[in-house]
Structure 1
Amino acid sequence: MKRAIFDHKAKLSLIKFCSFFVLILLSAAASAQSKGKVVVIRDALFDTLLAKRAMLNRGGGGSATGSRVYTSNYGYRLQIYSGSNRNAAYAAQARFNGEFPEMRTYISYHEPNFKVKAGDFRSRLEAEKMKAQLQFTFSAMFIVSERINPPKTVINND
């Protein structure tokens, strides 16, 4: 009689184990990903913008003169101020803009210093010429190499 009870418990535990194993397999099969197809829905203007950008990058800017359209690239700037005083940085920028209003200036803050940079020069020679002009006005000035913005272009509709 004792053996019959033991066999009954063994069969019951075997059934529990098998049912647990089957449940694990079924849940894994249910959560498996199947291959599918992705459909991208986009506005028709998106393709137009991509084509326009490709045309501008090739240099076909669409102007009558056929001048090349430049994109942002690496070049040189003059750093005219570096310090922790925000008011002095803005004063240096205003002083530079007063003397050269056609040239762009940029203020950046990298803790704890403000840096004022001027110009978008494609070559170091251009930056050196401007540095020679400003040598007496801004004494602590040097040339830095970084990503520059495209120069301002004049568009004539003649």
Structure 2
Amino acid sequence: MKKAIIDHTAKSAVVRYCFFLLMLLTSTMAFGQTPRGRVQVIRDPLFDTLLAKRAMLNSGGRRNSSGSYVSSYGYRVQIYSGSNRSAAFNAQARFNMEFPEMRTYIVYREPNFKVRAGDFRSRIEAERMKNQLNGTFSAMFIISEKINPPKTVVSND
């Protein structure tokens, strides 16, 4: 009697093993990918232009006189930093009255407004401007950041 029970369990184990192999083979055949054709990608000709423009914008570049993009780092003098917006605009107006040819920039990083002036290529130029403004503005700093390069005069002579 015991022998019959053992044979029965052995037969069911073999059946389970065969069923497992059958399922494994059918799943690999069902999920296997066979190449049926070629994929052809058709893209708009403006796509390359957009990629080039995106790369230029991400690099923060500007065009120079030859038409190529140039980005440069330099220095600016920070003349105001505070949370009062009207005081920031007043500081910018006061600076623009003294130096109308120099560019000023207002940067807002919550909760402070920062007024920065100039596009200096060297720290020495920024130090000179800071010394000129010493009595006019208090708590000035020299900041290193990406600047707008000064315009160069191109002559055709």
Q: CA deviation at 1:38?
A: 7.8
Q: CA deviation at 1:18?
A: 4.1
Take 2:47 and 2:154, find their aligned partners in 1: how far apart are those partners? 26
Between stretches 133-142 and 147-156, larger displacement belongs to: 147-156
Deviation string 1:16-72 (CA, Å, 9 cap, x unpaired) is 24433553565467657889x886544324445749x7xx9996715xxxxxx6622
| Residue 44 (str. 1) matches residue 45 (str. 2) | yes
Match of residue 134 from structure 1 = 133
Gap change, CA 1:101 and 1:19, over 3 Å in 2 = farther
Take 2:134 and 2:111, find their aligned partners in 1: how far apart are those partners? 26
Normalised to the residue count of structure 2, the TM-score between the two structures is: 0.62
Match of residue 12 from structure 2 = 12
Q: CA deviation at 1:98?
A: 4.1
8 Å Cα contact 2:106/2:113 also seen in 1 = no
Give the RMSD, CA atoms, in angstroms: 4.1
Match of residue 108 from structure 1 = 108
- AA at the equivalent of 2:66: G
| Residue 61 (str. 1) matches residue 62 (str. 2) | no
Normalised to the residue count of structure 1, the TM-score between the two structures is: 0.62
8 Å Cα contact 1:70/1:150 also seen in 2 = no
Residue-pair matches, total: 146
Segments of structure 2 that go 5 or more residues without pairing to the other structure are none
